[in-house]
Structure 1
């Protein structure tokens, strides 16, 4: 009915069926049939037609005057929505982990903002999986399995887990030769990584533990600092300690044992992504693919 209403308004605007038909690229007979259909639905005649003239009936004029502004407003709203969906501008709301965003992903956000100056990025950082719907977020970066069936997802990469300690700690306490020896060491345990798992190179032995730490904390970055100061062994993402490893402030332990890789995902609530969200998603995916530390590897040998 909405399309037929638009055709009726066009007929009145153009002053003739033929002109409105040319504007709509429709045969005049089709336009006449659709006008008659609209009149049948409304139960009144909208136009007085003769061989030489066409003008609205009183009911048609009233209908035209009331509906034309509504159609104009609808067209403007549709154009605005189309603009929002298909242009890379406006506000983008993103939820992301604190340490990953401050570290490896910071250049990705910076290069995205530089490439798209009309984007306003609202970046909310938290190490908890905040509710995407409640925050009205367009996109969220998450680490670990994603089980919410209401959210769509794309895997960006993986983070390798490593066991590290400072040279000073190892000089005083020695290095473990087997994961079971960790029970005799001072351990720094972060709550997001309360389970430590190691698998032998041949895959025949797996050791899994929930260690009791000398220090339990909920911030892994602080754990790296404490480990650098010789206060214990730390099980943490390579992304957070790679600089300390490269500088020699930390040493990797049990390198012959495999540790789980933590998956990194982008998740979003909408079925049809606006172009600005798709652009950020592709930008993050390309950045992650080009960054060895986000693909389960090291930029340099540790």
Structure 2
């Protein structure tokens, strides 16, 4: 009915059925049938037609005056929505873990904003898994299992985990030779990595170590745990992405290098019921390209 209403407004403004038919790109007979259908649905005659003229009835004028501004408003809303969905501009609000967003993903945010200068990026960082739908955010970065079926998801990569300690700690307390030897060492626990899973590179054997009853440190911020490990306080199980720089410059060393830690999946997620505007799709595509082939998202520690 909405299309027929738009045709009726076009007929009135064009002054004739033939002119309105040419404007709509359809045969005059088709336009006439659709006008008759609209009149039948409304139960009144909208136009007085003769061989020489076409004049709206009183009901037709009333209907035209009320419907014309509604159609104009709808057209403006449609055009605004089209710009929002298809133009790479505006605000993109993202939820992400603190250490991941401010660490290995930092160049991604900078590169994305340089590529798209008309986008405003709103990063909400928290190590707690916030409610994406309730927050109104466009996109979230999640690490680990995704139990929420209301979210679309795209795997960005897998974050390998490693055991590390400072050279000063290992010089003083010795090197563990087996996972079981860790129980005799000072251990630093960084949430959410409370259970340490290790796999032997050659045999494929898995060992899962439950959280020890006593630890030297427990903290819910991985970057701080890495810094304290660098200070020689103990052995830490953490994502390679958080320790790679300290390993590269020698402040940390790999412990039990013949064992590899469990890799954790990293996802981009967004609500199922929402269409992805162009600005959000642009960020998602940028993150996919950024993580593809990146060694810290490969799932395998060297």
> TM-score by structure 2 length?
0.96
Retained in 2: the 8 A contact 1:180–1:207? Answer: no
Residue 130 of structure 1 aligns with which residue?
130
Write the deviation string for residues 75-107 of structure 1: whole angstroms up to 9, x where unpaired: 000000011000100111110110111111111
Residue 275 of structure 2 aligns with which residue?
272
Q: RMSD in angstroms over aligned alpha carbons?
A: 1.2
Retained in 1: the 8 A contact 2:198–2:207? Answer: yes
Among 231, 245, 263, the alignment partner of 2:233 is: 231
1:44 aligns with 2:44: yes
- Tell which deviates more after alignment, 168-177 or 264-273: 264-273
Among 286, 289, 297, the alignment partner of 1:286 is: 289
Residue 185 of structure 2 aligns with which residue?
185
* SS in structure 2 at match of 1:140: strand
Measure, in 2, the Cα distance between the counterparts of 1:243 and 1:230: 16
1:202 to partner: Cα distance: 3.5
* SS in structure 1 at match of 2:261: coil
1:90 aligns with 2:90: yes
Residue 107 of structure 2 aligns with which residue?
107
Write the deviation string for residues 252-288 of structure 1: whole angstroms up to 9, x where unpaired: 0111112210111000014531111111101001011
1:291 to partner: Cα distance: 2.0
Measure, in 2, the Cα distance between the counterparts of 1:95 and 1:204: 36
Measure, in 2, the Cα distance between the counterparts of 1:201 and 1:245: 20
- Tell which deviates more after alignment, 192-201 or 80-89: 192-201
1:290 to partner: Cα distance: 4.0
Residue 166 of structure 1 aligns with which residue?
166
Retained in 1: the 8 A contact 2:226–2:242? Answer: yes
Write the deviation string for residues 209-256 of structure 1: whole angstroms up to 9, x where unpaired: 123321111111111111111110000000001111011110001111
Give the gaps of 5 or more residues in structure 2.
Answer: none
* SS in structure 1 at match of 2:148: coil
Measure, in 2, the Cα distance between the counterparts of 1:243 and 1:117: 30
Measure, in 1, the Cα distance between the counterparts of 2:64 and 2:126: 54
Write the deviation string for residues 168-200 of structure 1: whole angstroms up to 9, x where unpaired: 001110010000000000000112100001122
* SS in structure 2 at match of 1:192: coil
Residue 28 of structure 2 aligns with which residue?
28
Measure, in 1, the Cα distance between the counterparts of 2:226 and 2:163: 11
Residue 18 of structure 2 aligns with which residue?
18
- Tell which deviates more after alignment, 141-150 or 196-205: 196-205
1:146 to partner: Cα distance: 1.2
1:297 to partner: Cα distance: 4.5
Measure, in 1, the Cα distance between the counterparts of 2:197 and 2:221: 19
* SS in structure 1 at match of 2:264: strand
Measure, in 2, the Cα distance between the counterparts of 1:115 and 1:297: 30
Retained in 1: the 8 A contact 2:263–2:300? Answer: no
Retained in 1: the 8 A contact 2:187–2:235? Answer: yes
Measure, in 2, the Cα distance between the counterparts of 1:297 and 1:215: 27
Retained in 1: the 8 A contact 2:164–2:236? Answer: yes
> TM-score by structure 1 length?
0.96
Retained in 2: the 8 A contact 1:183–1:211? Answer: no
1:46 to partner: Cα distance: 0.3
The size of the alignment, in residue pairs, is 299
